[in-house]
Amino acid sequence: MIAIPAIDLREGACVQLVGGSYAAEKVRVEDPLEALTQWRRHGFRAFHVVDLDAALGKGSNADAIFQLTAHERGLTFSVGGGVRDSDRVETVLSGGAEFVVVGTRAIEDAGWLADIANRFPGRVVVAADVKGREVVTRGWTAGSHRDIREVLAAFEPLPLGGLLVTAVHKEGQLSGVDLPLMREVASTSRHRLYASGGVTTMEDLRALAAAGAYGAVIGMALYTGRLDASAVAREFAG
């Protein structure tokens, strides 16, 4: 399993939110490149970038994203947040990202998801953001009334690059991961699982690895120093 630092962008800065609430910003690094170079010094090579403003339709951090993906050769970026049309998918993938992460429209429009997955096989990662067991969309603000297992079943035939499953109820709270949820996803889907939400300790990471996760996205615990970044990178940087 690989550990993947999160770089969440808001108003041009790198931030961390508590519990998926845009009103509960706990960490802010004004220059996202500073965050990237900090994690690179520890040895991380894969990064998950989210445009929070685009996710809510409140703006774009496209320039900051390009600065990140163009900064150094040989790094792997997954980029998402507000990717809801095919042109944006193409722009993200041609702009230096290895994977594009699609959430809201992928959940709501199965035909569109199938189209982009087949156009870009192995490079589309679907974000399934989960509160309890319900998949939520539109920057975690709208319920879909669909259980995670139902949503996963629809993805099985597609040539995806993976599933990014975020336990929103654990996000940013440093309270541990939703291990039963991640075990269920890993055991029921053939796709790579990228687990997110609540990673707090090395034991959380080891448990996710044992559960079958391919990657773990880490935010708050790294930015606050709760996790020793060097120790994480030594064991899980890939």
> Which residues are known catalytic residues?
8, 129
Tell me the β-bridge partners of 28: 15
pLDDT in tens, 201-216: 999 999 999 999 999 9
**In the prediction, which pLDDT does 172 show?**
63
Decide: pTM greater than 0.85. yes
What percent of the chain lies above the pLDDT cut of 70? Answer: 92
Mean pLDDT check: name the lowest of 16-20, 65-69, 125-129. Answer: 16-20
CA distance 232 to 205: 9
Residue 109 backbone dihedrals phi, psi, to 5 degrees: -135, 90
| 25 Cβ contact partners less than 8 Å away, ≥ 6 residues apart | 10, 15, 16, 17, 18
Which DSSP letter does residue 170 get? Answer: G
Q: Can you tell me the mean pLDDT for 123-144?
A: 76
Distance of CA 97 to the CA centre of its chain: 13
Domains of the chain, by residue range, sit at 2-237
Query: Given its phi and psi angles, is residue 127 left (phi above 0), alpha (psi -120 to 50 degrees) or beta?
Result: beta
**Region 149-154 average pLDDT:** 91
